[in-house]
Structure 1
Amino acid sequence: MAQKKDTLRHLFAGGCAGTVGAIVTCPLEVIKTRLQSSGIAIHSVYYPQVQLGTLSGGGVVRPSASVPPGVLQVLKSILEKEGPRSLFRGLGPNLVGVAPSRAVYFASYSKAKEKFNAIFVPNSNIVHMCSAGSAAFVTNSMMNPIWMVKTRMQLEMRVRGSKQTNALQCARNVYQTEGMRGFYRGLTASYAGISETIICFVVYEGLKKRLHEMDLSANSSGEKGSTNFLGLMLAAAFSKGCASCIAYPHEVIRTRLREEGTKYKTFCQTARLVAREEGYLAFYRGLLAQLFRQIPNTAIVLSTYELLIYVLNEKPN
C-alpha cells in the first residue's frame, strides 16, 4: 500500500510539473522546431515568392533566398504573418501528452532507481544513468505518437486569420497518408536523445547531493526551504544546459524525420544528408531557442517536482 501511495505521489508531482513547464515555454518550442526544419524553418516566410504545401493541401510561401533566420526573426515573422496564437501551435497535444509523459517518466525513474540501488552502489552515477535511461526509453516509446502530432502542428504555417489544422485533423492526416508507422517517425532519434537525459540527470543528481551536503553542514534557519528550492532550480538549469549542448544534434534529426513528405527516412541517412547538404553547423540550428526554452523549463519542472514531493510529505530519493 505504501509503495502504491509513493508511486502515485511521483505520478502526480511529475504530471503537474510537466504541465507548468509546457505552458510557460511553448512559444520557444515552436520557434525552435521551425528553426530545426529543413523546408519551412530554414527557408522561412520573410519575403514570399514560392508556394509550399501544408497538411490540408493549402499552401504557404517561401523565399527564393535561403538565409537561415535567427530566433528574433522567426518570432517577428510568426507574430506578423500568423498572429500570436501560432506561438502556441501544438500546445493541445503537448498538454495532453506532457502530464502523462512526465508522470510516467518520474514514476519510472523512481522505480528504476529503487531497483538499481539494490544492484549497484546506492545513489551512484551508474544508478542515476541506468534509471534515467530506463525511464526515458519507456516514456519515448509510449509518447512518440503525441509528440509526432505536436511537431507536425508546430511546422504548419498559415497566413493570419486562416483556419489551422487541429490535433485530431493532423492525427487523421498522418494515419491516412503514412499509416500507424507514421506516428513513430523520429523514434530512433528520440532513443538517441536518451543520452541527453542521462547526462542531465547525472549532473543534476550530483549537484543535488552536493547541495544536500552543504545544507547539512550549514546552520539551519527559516530560509532553508527557499534556499534549497532556488538551488535546485539552478542545478536543474545548469544540468540541462550542459546536456542540451552535448546531445542537441538528435533534436534536429528528429524534427527532419517528422516533416511531412520528407526525404529523410532513417536516423543515419538523415545525419549523412544534413552533414553533406548543409554542413555540420546545421545540427545546431535552433540551439539558442532550445537553451532559452529547455533551461527554464527543466528548472521549473524539476524544482516543481521536488517541491510537490516535499509538500506531499515524501522525501525525494
Structure 2
Amino acid sequence: MFERDTLVHLFAGGSGGTIGAILTCPLEVVKTRLQSSSVSLFVSEVQHSSVHGAKSKRVTPGPLRCLKLILEKEGPRSLFKGLGPNLVGVAPSRAIYFGAYSYSKEKLSTVLEPDSTPVHMFSAALAGFCAITATNPIWLIKTRLQLDTRSRGEQRMSVAECIRRVYRADGLRGFYRGMSASYAGISETVVHFVIYENIKLKMMEARGTANMDNDNQAVKGASDFARLMVAAATSKTFATVLAYPHEVIRTRLREEGNKYRFFSQTVSLLWKEEGGQALYRGLTTHLLRQIPNTAIVMCSYEIVVYMLNG
C-alpha cells in the first residue's frame, strides 16, 4: 500500500510539472534572457541613433521590450527554446521531488510531530536536494539553449551540439554548473511548502466548520481545488521574492565561458559590475511565470492524487 501511495505521488508530480512547463515556456525564455549577462549587449546591438549615428547606450530592457526583441530577431519559435529538455526534465524532476517529499514527510512524521512545520521544512529540503542533484545536467542544457541568440534563419543550436560544447569546455563537471545556486534555492522551496501546507490546513479547518448541508459534491470539489490554487500562488509569491537572487546567480553560472566560476564569486562580481539591483533582474517576468505555473502544478498534482486515490 505504501509503495502504491509513493507511485501515485510520483505520477501526480510529473504530470503537474509537465502541464505547467508547456503553458509557461515563453515566459521562462524571457526570464532567462533578462537574468543573463548578455541581455544589455543584445539590446545595444539592435538599437541605433537615427540622427547622429552615435553608438547605442547599453540598457537593460523590460520584459515586454525583451519579448519584442526576441520575436524581431529570432522569430516566434525562439520562445519555445529549451522546451525539449524542459519536458524531458520536468516530469522526472517533479516526480522525484513530490515522491521524496511524500516519503520524507511520512518517515519524519514517525519521529517528529506529524504534519508539523519542522516535518514540512525538512521534507521540502530533502526533496529539493534529491531533485536538484539528479536533474541539474538537464536544466543546464535547457538554460544554454534559451540563451542561444542566433538570428532568424540561422541554424539553431541542437541539444546534441550543446552537450558537445559543454563537455568540450568543462568535461563532465560542466554539466553540474549552477548546482550550488540551486542548493541555495532550496530555501525558496522550504518557505513555499511550509506556507502552502499551513494555508491548506487552515482552509480544511474552515471547511470543516462550514455549513455542510450542500450535497453538491462537484461544486464543493471545484471550490476546494480553486482554494488550493490560491494557496499555492500565495505561498509561492512570498517564497520567490525572498529567494530570487539565487535564480540570477544560477543563470550566470550556467552561461558559457569562465567569467562566473562559483557562487560567492558570482555574487561579488555581479554586485561590483552591475549593482545590487542586478540580483533581481527578471523578477517581474519570473513572478508572471512562476505564480500561475506553481498554481497549475500544485492543482494538477492534487487533482491527480485525488483521482487515483478515489
- TM-score w.r.t. structure 2 length? 0.94
Deviation of 1:41 (Å): 1.8
TM-fit CA distance, 1:118: 1.0
1:250 matched to 2:249? The reply is: no
Corresponding letter in the other structure for 2:20: G
| Candidates 82, 106, 116, aligned match of 2:74 | 82
Percentage of matched positions with identical amino acids: 58
- 2:35, 2:251 within 8 Å by CA — same for their partners in 1? yes
In structure 2, the residue corresponding to 1:256 is in which secondary structure? helix
Partners of 2:229 and 2:295 within 8 A in 1: yes
Q: Determine the structure 1 residue equivalent to 2:35.
A: 36
For residue 48 of structure 1, the aligned residue among 43, 46, 49 is 46
Contact 1:233–1:303, Cα closer than 8 Å, also in 2:
yes
Match of 1:229 among 205, 225, 228: 225
1:1-317 to structure 2, matched below 5 A, reads 2-38=1-37, 40-45=38-43, 47-48=45-46, 65-220=57-212, 221=214, 222=216, 223-313=219-309
Residue 48 of structure 1: CA displacement? 3.3
1:46: how far off?
A: 5.8
Structure 1 counterpart SS, 2:42:
coil
- Offset of residue 262 of structure 1: 3.7
Structure 1 unmatched ranges of 5 or more = 50-62
Secondary structure of 2:27's counterpart equals: helix
Quote the Cα distance in structure 2 between the aligned partners of 1:117 and 1:204.
18
1:34-54 deviation per Cα after TM superposition (whole angstroms, max 9, x unaligned): 00001x2232246438xxxxx
Distance 1:45 1:282 in 2: 16
Deviations 1:211-237 (A, max 9, x none): 111111112332210111000001101
Farther off after superposition, 116-125 or 130-139: 116-125
**8 Å contact from structure 2 (residues 43, 61) kept in 1:** no
d(CA) in 1 for partners of 2:43, 2:272: 25
8 Å contact from structure 2 (residues 32, 146) kept in 1? yes
| CA shift for structure 1 position 64 | 5.0
Aligned twin of 1:59:
none
Count, aligned residues? 300
> 1:240-289 CA distances to partner (integer Å, 9 max, x unpaired)?
11111000000000000000014011100100111111111100000000
Q: Could you tell me which residue of structure 1 aligns to residue 50 of structure 2?
A: none
Decide which moves more: 4-13 or 127-136.
4-13
Determine the structure 1 residue equivalent to 2:51. none
Shift >6 Å, 4+ stretches: none
Secondary structure of the 1:42 match is helix
Tell me, yes or no, if the aligned pair for 2:44 and 2:59 is still in contact at 8 Å: no
CA contact (8 A) 1:34 1:42 kept: no
CA distance in 2, matches of 1:94, 1:132: 21
Paired with 1:33 and 1:262, the residues of 2 have a C-alpha distance of 19
* 1:93 counterpart SS class: helix
8 Å contact from structure 1 (residues 46, 77) kept in 2? no
